[in-house]
Structure 1
Amino acid sequence: MRLKALKDGHWPSLLGAWLHFEVSFMVWLLIGALGVAIAQEFDLSATQKGFLVGVPLLGGALLRIVVGPFADLFGAKQVGLGILALEVVALLLGWLFGASYFHMLGVGFLLGFAGASFAIALPIASLAYPPERQGLAMGVAAIGNSGVLLATFFGPRIAESIGWQNTFGVMIIPVVMTAILFYLLVPDHSGQVFRKSGATFSVRSALQQPFMYWLCFLYGVTFGGFVGFSSFLPIYFHDQYQLDMVTAGTITAICGLAGSLARPVGGHLADRLGGIGLLLTCFLVTAILSVLLSGLLPLKFALPLTIIMLLFLGFGNGVVFQIVSLRFQGIMGTASGFVGAAGGIGGFLLPSWFGVLKDATGSYASGFLVFGLCSGLAATSVLYMQRWGRVSLNAPSVPK
């Protein structure tokens, strides 16, 4: 049934969107995957570790705001190729000039260009499929989140063999190959949302809608939690359970894979059942799991709970963007840029507060409690919108 649904649109565009996001996501989380080795070389504190893995997420958040509108104006294909070229530049700098903590902070911020791929892949997927397939199509494109698997599984293994600096150089190869395939698969008109819909480009129109801010908050929790944990878990598992870099990366890859595979499921179920009700369950579960994980349980209990939590966060990512695609069809690039930026900011804040609170309290427990509080607030907001907010997903996205 799902294969038939994929045939309802232009699947080569969907494949190109997925590939762009997959490889870019791998590059975006590369510093997190190599965080243990980098932290050991520069003898970093917990706070410094948190900022080190968080800075690429912040860079991606800020750049998504710019890339989204650019994709709407100039075409997602053209902007997407530019992003891949900038990724090569960032990887070259990490390979040749990553000689200190502050150098790596700069490289990390430039790697944020890879995180901006989100605002390219989703508009391409949205344009390539009809409204009734939006959740599924964008969920498939966004399964590129599984780039975390490539980064956390292969990155530490390559670094163990040739060093973490040289790992940046190796990663240039898949980026260049992706650029070639992306150019061949995606038509020039992909992402030209405004020319097809006749909508008027207006960032102001998006910012004037309170619904946009609410979705930004929700995505800051779901995607922020997913990408923040995916970046920080290698360091957490190493520090808390004394696992070596490769083992910590491997179990992080398992956690990330669960969330990545759950994303298209969330989008597909939201197509069929509606997204608001699904989000309530998602946030309640993640809040409960965060509180349980704050007990810093033995690894045999903490690992399955962490996998389940990232699974629900990935599921929530798909649901949120199914809602985004229905509400903001006319300005999908701009909307995905703003909402995606909120997710990136959430991802930056999570490892940052984990590091700061670890130095302040001597424990990672309070970091989980803070995330549990954020999930609880998100659940409360969904309950309010469900009962009293009069949610309308089909409201025009651009004032006429």
Structure 2
Amino acid sequence: MSRWTGRWIERWDPEDETFWHEGGGRRTALRNLVFSVLSEHIGFSIWSLWSVMVLFMGPEYHVDPAGKFFLVAMPTLVGGVLRVPYTFAVAKFGGRNWTVVSALLLLVPTVAAAVVTKPGVSYPTLMVVAALTGVGGGNFASSMTNINSFYPLREKGWALGLNAGGGNVGVAAIQLVGLLVIATAGAAHPRIVLAVYIPLIVVAAVLAAVFMDNLAPVRNDTGAALDAGRDPHTWIMSLLYVGTFGSFIGYSFAFGLVLQNQFGRTPLHAAYLTFIGPLLGSLVRPLGGRLADRYGGGRITLWNFLAMAAATGVVIVASEQKSLGLFLPGFIALFALSGLGNGSTYKMIPGIFQKKAEAAGLAGEAAAAHARRLSGASMGLIGAVGALGGVGINLAFRESFLNAASGTPAFVSFLAYYAVCFAVTWAVYLRRPARSAGGAGQVAPAATTAYAEV
């Protein structure tokens, strides 16, 4: 069998307790998780690069607020689309090998931004370079697919939450770097941000090459992708993930622009605040996974959407009253809740397919293998659709400020979406199965499995 250069593990069975605890499985998985987080972290930073670069773009760039919202939406769009091929690249080339390649690809948009970002650059050129940063969004899909293969079902919520949360922190990290640059060197020096990240990209690629592994049992399975695409739960979970991750990444890219346009903050004042929400949302994502491991992802996701709706209500009131003091805690709460929901929804995915396997009569390793096969394929689709939700967030803000000179209409639409997500979560994953006609004490067959515990 042909192999790319690199380390390959031929046997991997994390569901086997002996293999996991005594055979070095947990230690190997943790090592791969650590360096996966590092690479994904920098990937998220580059993906959200233009949420920072627009803060450096004063009147001399001749880009209006609507143009800036469209500019930060472009990386989200490209990153969402790239998540599908990035998902299957892990099985094609190996998790370690693809982590190295995907990290090095981050040099392309970073170097390009360093070359073109200066007053007088054309808007189409900015759009092309912003689109290139979409490769950072693809990193998430390959990283999550890879780590999903390393961990047993009982620990996936924690592992996937930690992997994604560590990556998500990259959004706050680059915004902190941008704040430091604006506060010290001034808004005329965006290239300093890029000078920080170019060597970090190289370091991440080298560390992945040295310390990560490829799993030989992980194979591309076109049939799994087709089966996942036909399964309604893939698209139901995509709807929910738009509400959680779409909100997180969309708000992360738009926060600084909303502060500038809704409340008249300067770039420096906006930079002082923009990192707080993404940082909190990233840090609580593992908590969302852990809570889902303990209480069930469906339950945590349900109440999380209710809380997101309440926080959005606070933001709408603050927006109408132009109260920054009320707006900030409401909007930051939205960030934290979106992060919590990211962890709980991603935990649901492998659990749902495990339940479906058991309902079909499979048990033990056969059920676990079936669940891994479909959940790995579905994660790429769900992650892609969820990321596209960030495009919707930014386009909604763009239209809202164009037509109403306020973000309020956009927030009202987000509130309606969270209400839909709450209803769908309850109806599909928490409502009791219907009783059969055979008697009051009989429930519907196993095919109508309740998913409250997933």
Do the structures match in fold with TM over 0.5? yes
Percent identity between the two aligned chains: 25
The 3 A distance-change label for structure 1 pair 8 and 95 is closer
Q: Does 1:301 align with 2:329?
A: no
Aligned CA RMSD, in angstroms, stands at 2.2
Whole-Å separation in 2 of the counterparts to 1:34 and 1:200: 39
Aligned to 2:418: 375
The 3 A distance-change label for structure 1 pair 70 and 391 is farther
Aligned to 2:206: 180
Whole-Å separation in 2 of the counterparts to 1:14 and 1:246: 35
Q: 1:249 aligns with which of 271, 281, 289?
A: 271
Q: Following TM superposition, by how much is the alpha carbon of 1:201 offset from its aligned partner in structure 2, in angstroms? A: 4.9
Q: Does 1:67 align with 2:86?
A: yes
Q: 1:213 aligns with which of 218, 231, 235?
A: 235
Q: Which runs of 4+ in 1 moved over 6 A?
A: none
Q: Does 1:349 align with 2:353?
A: no
Tell me if the contact between 2:298 and 2:451 (Cα under 8 Å) persists in the aligned partners: no
Aligned to 2:215: 189
Aligned to 2:257: 235
Q: Following TM superposition, by how much is the alpha carbon of 1:122 offset from its aligned partner in structure 2, in angstroms? A: 1.1
Whole-Å separation in 2 of the counterparts to 1:274 and 1:25: 28
Tell me if the contact between 2:247 and 2:389 (Cα under 8 Å) persists in the aligned partners: yes
Q: 2:159 aligns with which of 115, 137, 141?
A: 137
Q: Does 1:171 align with 2:197?
A: yes
Q: Following TM superposition, by how much is the alpha carbon of 1:97 offset from its aligned partner in structure 2, in angstroms? A: 2.4
Whole-Å separation in 1 of the counterparts to 2:232 and 2:89: 23
Equivalent residues in 2 for 1:220-369, closer than 5 Å? 220-295=242-317, 296=319, 297-326=322-351, 327=353, 328-369=371-412
| Aligned residue identity for 1:82 | V
Q: 1:387 aligns with which of 426, 431, 434?
A: 431
Count of equivalent residues = 386
Q: Following TM superposition, by how much is the alpha carbon of 1:113 offset from its aligned partner in structure 2, in angstroms? A: 0.5
Q: Following TM superposition, by how much is the alpha carbon of 1:332 offset from its aligned partner in structure 2, in angstroms? A: 4.5
Whole-Å separation in 1 of the counterparts to 2:210 and 2:82: 25
Give deviations 1:187-208, integer Å, cap 9, x for gaps: 1328x5238xxx6653211111
Tell me if the contact between 1:14 and 1:124 (Cα under 8 Å) persists in the aligned partners: no
Whole-Å separation in 2 of the counterparts to 1:81 and 1:159: 31
Q: Following TM superposition, by how much is the alpha carbon of 1:240 offset from its aligned partner in structure 2, in angstroms? A: 2.1
Q: Bigger radius of gyration, 1 or 2?
A: 2
Aligned to 1:121: 143
Whole-Å separation in 1 of the counterparts to 2:377 and 2:410: 32
Q: Following TM superposition, by how much is the alpha carbon of 1:291 offset from its aligned partner in structure 2, in angstroms? A: 2.2
Greater relative contact order, per chain length (Cα 8 Å cut-off, separation 6+):
1
Which structure: greater helix fraction? 1
Whole-Å separation in 1 of the counterparts to 2:215 and 2:223: 17
Q: Following TM superposition, by how much is the alpha carbon of 1:226 offset from its aligned partner in structure 2, in angstroms? A: 0.4
Whole-Å separation in 1 of the counterparts to 2:27 and 2:96: 21
Whole-Å separation in 2 of the counterparts to 1:218 and 1:8: 33
Quick check: 150-159 or 309-318, which moved more? 150-159
Quick check: 40-49 or 371-380, which moved more? 40-49
Q: Following TM superposition, by how much is the alpha carbon of 1:249 offset from its aligned partner in structure 2, in angstroms? A: 2.2
Give deviations 1:177-222, integer Å, cap 9, x for gaps: 11111222211328x5238xxx665321111100000011111110
Whole-Å separation in 2 of the counterparts to 1:84 and 1:246: 30
Aligned to 1:49: 68
Give deviations 1:236-294, integer Å, cap 9, x for gaps: 11222222323312322111111111110010111111111111111111112112212
Aligned to 1:397: none
Tell me if the contact between 1:72 and 1:334 (Cα under 8 Å) persists in the aligned partners: no
Give deviations 1:317-341, integer Å, cap 9, x for gaps: 0011101233252144432221111
Whole-Å separation in 2 of the counterparts to 1:125 and 1:36: 34
Aligned to 2:126: 104
Quick check: 73-82 or 14-23, which moved more? 73-82
| Aligned residue identity for 1:350 | I
Q: 2:46 aligns with which of 27, 36, 61?
A: 27
Q: Does 1:16 align with 2:35?
A: yes
Aligned to 1:37: 56
The 3 A distance-change label for structure 1 pair 285 and 311 is same
TM-score (norm 2): 0.80
| Aligned residue identity for 2:431 | R
The 3 A distance-change label for structure 1 pair 17 and 40 is farther
Aligned to 1:157: 180
Tell me if the contact between 1:194 and 1:331 (Cα under 8 Å) persists in the aligned partners: no
Whole-Å separation in 2 of the counterparts to 1:391 and 1:65: 29
Whole-Å separation in 2 of the counterparts to 1:356 and 1:41: 24
Give deviations 1:301-353, integer Å, cap 9, x for gaps: 21111111111110000011101233252144432221111111001110111
TM-score (norm 1): 0.90
| Aligned residue identity for 1:168 | L
Q: 1:84 aligns with which of 103, 107, 111?
A: 103
